[in-house]
Each structure stands twice: as C-alpha cells, then as structure tokens.
Amino acid sequence: MESVTNLEQLFSLLWTDYCAFNPKAKRIHQLLVDRGEKIENDHIALRTFKHPRLGIAHLAKTFERFGYQAKQEYIFKEKKLYAKHWEHKDPSQPKIFISELETEKLSQGLQKIVAGLIEQIPDSFLNREDVVTAGRPWKVSHADFVTLANESEYAGWMACHGFRPNHFTVFFNQLKGFKTLPELNQFLRQSGYQMNTSGGEVKGTPAELLEQSSTMAEEVEVQFTDGKFTVPACYYEFAKRHADPKTGKLYQGFVAASADKIFESTNRM
Ligand code: NI
C-alpha cells in the first residue's frame, strides 16, 4: 500500500502498474522514445462497477484531491456503461476517463456474481490512497469469469483484473514523426504489434473532432480459484484531436460512437 502525496507520484504508480501488467505498452512507448518522440498522455482510462462504495465518484476522489475537475459525461447504452471525464487546470496533465458498469442492468445471474465479488472488498481496501492501482480485492473462479465475460466483456475484465488502469492513451498531436494515425498504425504493425480493427483501425473522424486507434489487448496469465488461465489484459491507445470550429480550441471530449468501439479491444479473441 502506498500513500499518495502528489500527482506525479500517482501517475508514476499508475504507469508502473500498467507497464508491469502490459509489457507491450512499455515496449511501444520505448520504440517511440527511441525515434526521438516525447510522449504526452492524452488520457488514462479506469473502470469500476456502479456501486455506492466503489463507483465513479469513489475513484474520482483520488484525482480530485490533486485539482482534477469533472467535465463531460457519457452513456454507452449497449455496453451498459456510464462514464465521465476529468481535466486538470494544467492542460499538459492527462485527462482521466472513468467508466462504471451499470450492474442493475445485467441479468440476475451476473448481478449475483458481481455482488459476491463486491461483498469481499474490505473497507480498508477502498480507503487506500492508491486504490486506482490496487488491483483485485476479491477471489473469483475462471468459471464465473467466463459467465461474466460472455454477457459483458467489461464485467469479466473487472472481475479478473480489478482496480488498475485499463489503458493509457498517447496524445498523437504531440508526436513529431507521424502525420496521420494510419501512418503510426502502419509503423506499429510493421514493428510486430497487432492493432484493433473492430469498427476500422481508426475510430472517429476529423468531423467528430477525435480519432483514436489502439493495439489489441495483451494476453496475461491470471490466477483464478480454479487454476491459472490466460485472459486479455490492457491495450495501448492513440488519440488525435482536432480543433472545434466553434471555439478554435482542440476538442477535449470523448466521442461516444468511437469509444463504444474502443471498448471492444479487450474482447476475447
Ligand atoms: Ni481511451
């Protein structure tokens, strides 16, 4: 358990956890640094279950302590998700995107499994200053994981990985060596990384003011109560933002249609 005293330390904890879990993200980051790029994060995405003890509001406290302010909210009807994003007054700090699964909209069977996970969480865990990178506070069987993931990929991901970054997103506009997202995607593919092609390799359009692409999620071995199994972990994302013609400023929101597809990068193959 770590006490968190400043934003830099918080992001370092999040990045270290994410890289340990997803070595591919760390290698891609290094690949870009080796080409002379200075990487800035556009946003960091976190997931949780909708619940009074551990919903969006609870995770957001970790960031609000350091000056983050809630901005827009989003609804992903099909995936039964509610989300919000936070911004810091220093625009070079990444936006924080937190979503929660609206568990009351799941089938009775899934609701029961999720309630069983939540019941196992001690209050001491939720009070941790580093809760957003504290991992999984419950035991879960692979059989339950499969039941969850078959109905909701998101429920399965939360059940087996818990509280940790779902993805980091590189701010494409800051990269100097690539003019377009497809150019970056091609470079990554040629370097041996598989891109998520669900809904097209680039989600969103310049007209929607946000274009994003991502790698396929890394496969990791996870310990379940009934053995070790390989499951999808996290992906690495790239966001290109366009100026809003109304304000002349770069759009800071998240396009619903695009994000709905991006969530699919952790689907099981
Ligand atoms: Ni994202």
**98 CA to centre of ligand 1 in angstroms:** 10
- Please name the helix (run of DSSP H) or strand (run of DSSP E) that holds residue 122, with its range, or none: none
Report CA(169)–ligand 1 centroid distance (Å). 6
How far, in Å, is the centroid of ligand 1 from the Cα of 18?
14
> Ligand 1 centroid to 22 CA: how many Å?
16
CA of 263 to the centre of ligand 1 (A): 8
pLDDT of residue 264: 55
Q: Which DSSP helix (H) or strand (E) runs through 142?
A: helix 142-151
- Give the Å distance between the CA of 181 and the centre of ligand 1: 15
Q: 225 C-alpha vs ligand 1 centroid, how far in Å?
A: 31
Give the tokens for residue 212. 């994003």
pLDDT at 267: 59
15, 164 Cβ separation under 8 angstroms: no
Residue with tokens 């991502």: 214
pLDDT at residue number 246 = 84
Q: Quote the ligand 1 centre to 43 CA distance (angstroms).
A: 7
Cα of 13 vs centre of ligand 1, distance in Å, is 19
Distance 107 CA to ligand 1 centre (A): 27
CA of 227 to the centre of ligand 1 (A): 31
pLDDT of residue 52: 93
From first to last of its 269 residues, the chain has per-residue pLDDT tens of 778 999 999 999 999 999 998 999 999 999 999 999 999 999 999 999 999 999 999 999 999 999 999 998 988 888 999 999 999 999 999 999 999 999 999 999 999 999 999 999 999 999 999 999 999 999 999 999 999 999 999 999 999 999 999 999 999 999 999 999 999 999 999 999 999 999 899 998 898 899 999 999 989 999 999 999 999 999 999 999 999 888 899 999 886 444 555 555 555 54
72 CA from centroid of ligand 1 (Å): 14
Q: What is the pLDDT of residue 207?
A: 86
The alpha carbons of the chain give a radius of gyration, in whole angstroms, of: 18
The per-residue pLDDT for 266 is: 58
d(CA 14, CA 20): 10
Looking at residue 269, what is its pLDDT? 40
Distance 226 CA to ligand 1 centre (A): 32
Q: How far away, in angstroms, is 168 Cα from ligand 1 center?
A: 7
Q: Which residues contact 68 (CB under 8 A, 6 or more apart)?
A: 60, 86, 87, 88, 96
Cα of 136 to ligand 1 centre, how many Å? 21
CB 99 within 8 A of CB 57: no
Question: How far is ligand 1, taken at its centre, from the CA of residue 46, in Å?
Answer: 9
